Amino acid sequence: MPQVELTTLTPVHVGNGNFLQKNVEFVQMNYEGGLSAGIIDDHKVLAIIDEDRINDWVSLIENRGNLVEFIKIRKHDLSLDEISRRIMVIDADFQEFESLKEHIHNGEGRPYIPGSSLKGALRSAVFNQEIRRLGKPVTKQKLISTNRKNEQVASAKTLEDELFGKDPKEDVFRFLRVGDAYFAKGDTVALDLKSLNIVRDGDKVILDRKVHQLTEVIDADIKANLSLKLNSGLLDINNAKGYINKKSPWLADLSALFKLVNKNTVQILSEEIEFWEPDEQRFEPVEQYLSQLSDIKTIADKCTEDECITRLGHGVGWTFINGAWVENEDILSDDIYRELVQIIRHNKFRYENYPFPKTRRVADSDNIELLGFVKLKII
């Protein structure tokens, strides 16, 4: 199966659903010259405190006590590696975090990016480009429906069915097989995620610290290989048998797919840069955000036919997931677009005069860092 090299251009987080609690599942200590987070190894802790103090340990957890100080009663020269199953540097100004959002790991403790996450990003890119290419007006019925609770919900499933196939047997993306990308055990760090938030009816942008979260990420500039195969032969067989009828140009080979995905990324980056640039009184975090967008666009512009840039994981945001095709007046009318935004915002009319979306998730270390950008290269 063809091999692809994946490089993280910015930090990437794909969560496993766990929020580790401080002094229960992780601790913070100075380690090798800097503040670090250690994921607690219960067996190591028990070996230090002995079984006769298990009840005291449980009581400390219930009373939200300081686990490090508790262990130091028995071992004064405690080192973080003596109680941890893995350690990561904390790169954040704020230091008193109550939880750590964990990245997904395999059974061997290696962080990875699931093939399903990457495949979803590729699918979203193709969907966006195909919708724009067709340029057909989309009716309200194809985007907005009513659920069992008589609530309006937004979904593009009907459009996806039309483009890719209405069920797993007909879906052309079943011919794209994407493997997991495994990284080394030491490739994660903990960053403080915050939001660039547009406030005051769109007149001001703040770096919102109220919604910050310490999060484990695969760091930028890390490489991993994965398998990625577009089974064109099997696709031709299914076409001949009449199971599907979706022989689009991007299905020709991986280079054709990468070209379309990269085109999508460049287009969204250009539109995002255009959204922020008119603000002549930008404050520093927005300047840093714009600078990173421009840097990534430069990389995308230079991609060869065997390369592409895409975005995946936590913090990608509405624009990069959905491609902003809904803002195209030739595809979606203003009335349907406004109704769609209200549904997504859960009818919070106080935001009616704000741009949509009004927030951008970023990592805040020495500088603002975007999340989720990766480069793929056929090797």
| Reported pTM | 0.93
At 211, is the pLDDT very low, low, confident or very high (cuts 50, 70, 90)? Answer: confident
At 1, is the pLDDT very low, low, confident or very high (cuts 50, 70, 90)? Answer: low
pLDDT tens per residue across span 92-111: 877 778 999 999 999 999 99
At 346, is the pLDDT very low, low, confident or very high (cuts 50, 70, 90)? Answer: confident
pLDDT tens per residue across span 243-267: 776 667 888 889 999 999 999 999 9
Cβ atoms of 376 and 308 within 8 Å: the answer is yes
Q: What 3-state class would DSSP assign to 83?
A: coil
Two structure tokens written together for 108:
């061997």
Strand partners, 189: 217
Count, residues in the chain: 379
Is residue 224 pLDDT above 80, yes or no? Answer: yes
* Angle of CA points 126, 128, 134, to nearest 5°: 95
Burial (CB < 10 A; 0-12, 13-18, 19+), residue 346, is exposed
Instruction: Provide the pLDDT for residue 283.
Output: 78
- Residue with the bigger pLDDT between 285 and 298: it is 298
At 353, is the pLDDT very low, low, confident or very high (cuts 50, 70, 90)? Answer: confident
Q: At what angle do helices 115-134 and 157-164 cross, to 10 degrees?
A: 90
Q: What is the mean pLDDT of the chain?
A: 91
- What is the amino acid identity at position 44? K
Q: How far apart are CA 281 and CA 206, in angstroms?
A: 12
Instruction: Provide the pLDDT for residue 350.
Output: 79
Spell out the domain ranges in the chain: 3-9+113-183+226-378, 23-97
